[in-house]
Structure 1
Amino acid sequence: MSAVSTYTNMSSPSNSSDRTAQFVALLAASERRLAGFVLAIVPNFADADELLQETKIRLWEQFEDYDPSKSFDAWAKSIAYFQVLTYRKKKGREKVVFSTELINSLEASYANHEKEMEVRFEALQECLKLLSEKYQTLLGKLYSSSMSVAQVAKSLEMSAEGTRKALYRSRKALHSCIHRRLQSEDRI
């Protein structure tokens, strides 16, 4: 069954799980960029998080209108953009509200820097692979859990000071590696 027929024949119960799986896969692939987009143009983190959730709901509600021959990222960002405009209208009574012109400018600026951020993220992933296993474990425990530095130190049987120093060295090594990669590829 082609992707187009899957999207156009949504009323069939057998296609419901296919539709859900396709939506989840597309959203998962673009979720980080969508979150970055919303966070770039909404001043308050809590509001941005709420808007992101509302955007995901709206994406699901309008998924049958999505044209699979076009970019899901672009479609999702356009939905998010209109969610931001609606948010702006709701917040219009508050003291600090971004103008439509500023929102448009932020959206354009985000689009210009999105590729640069992707390149930097790819460099980070490559540089993480080059770190020693000790540093990879340290960073993994610290950033993929809600553990504090002291808790990570205890779990690695290290002193808190030794953990802080190792964390500093690993961050410094990552920074240098990313900078070298971007420079060598003429990307900065």
Structure 2
Amino acid sequence: MTDSPPSTENLILLLTQHQEALFRYIFSLVPCEADARDILQETSVALFRKFDQYDATRPFLPWAYRFAYLQVQKHREKSARSPLLFSDDVMDLLANERTHIEPQLDERLRLLDGCLGKLTPQDKELVTSRYALRQSAEDMMQRFDMSRRTLFRNLEMLRQRLHECVTHQLQSEGLA
């Protein structure tokens, strides 16, 4: 550990920098987005309480993942009657696998940003509305003047194009 304890300001900077990755990790372990957001908040509080024990010479994210994992476990204990929970073995496997594939996921996100930039403005707005802004299908149908069938067909086509673009980029960069 360093000579001086890490400051609250440092924790805020680290949490801000790694919030999306921490959320993705948690969401990979629980089936409900709202639960994942609650667990992220609980994880942030736990990190605040223990931040004086953080060794700033080591990477923050693996340290934070351990807290997130414990918070997921606490959430599972509270929700033990829910039929949607993974078994402990499956959850351990998911958590370990997630840690190992984190660099590949980050690379895919980087490439996805580039692929999104290749879309037409309307296609990009369609994808952003649905997946970033989480607009309902009904709102999007009205906003884009599309039938439900056309909306979902267009979204499926765009997901496929983005997947192909990312896959092609991975192959061209020798990462696939």
Matching residue within 124, 135, 143 for 2:131: 143
Q: Does the alignment pair 1:53 with 2:41?
A: yes
Secondary structure in structure 2 of the residue aligned to 1:62: helix
Q: Return the alpha-carbon distance in structure 1 between the equivalents of residues 9 and 71 of structure 2.
A: 24
Contact persistence 1:142–1:148 (CA under 8 A): yes
Cα 1:139–1:44 change in 2 (3 A) is closer
Which runs of no fewer than 5 residues in structure 2 stay unpaired?
A: none
Q: Return the alpha-carbon distance in structure 1 between the equivalents of residues 128 and 33 of structure 2.
A: 24
Deviation sequence 1:114-166 (CA, Å, 0-9, x none): 2221121111111001111111122222223343234224324x332554443
Which runs of no fewer than 5 residues in structure 1 stay unpaired?
A: 11-18
Q: Return the alpha-carbon distance in structure 2 between the equivalents of residues 140 and 180 of structure 1.
A: 22
User: In the alignment, what sits opposite 2:52?
Assistant: 64
User: In the alignment, what sits opposite 2:146?
Assistant: 159
Cα 1:144–1:41 change in 2 (3 A) is closer
CA RMSD in angstroms comes to 3.1
So what's the TM-score if we normalise by structure 2?
0.76
Range that drifts further, 39-48 or 116-125: 39-48
Cα 1:41–1:138 change in 2 (3 A) is closer
User: How far did 1:102 drift?
Assistant: 4.8
Matching residue within 82, 87, 92 for 1:98: 87
Q: Which has the higher contact order (CA 8 A, sep 6+)?
A: 2
So what's the TM-score if we normalise by structure 1?
0.72
Q: Count residues in correspondence.
A: 173
Matching residue within 26, 29, 35 for 2:23: 35
Find the structure with the greater CA-based Rg.
1
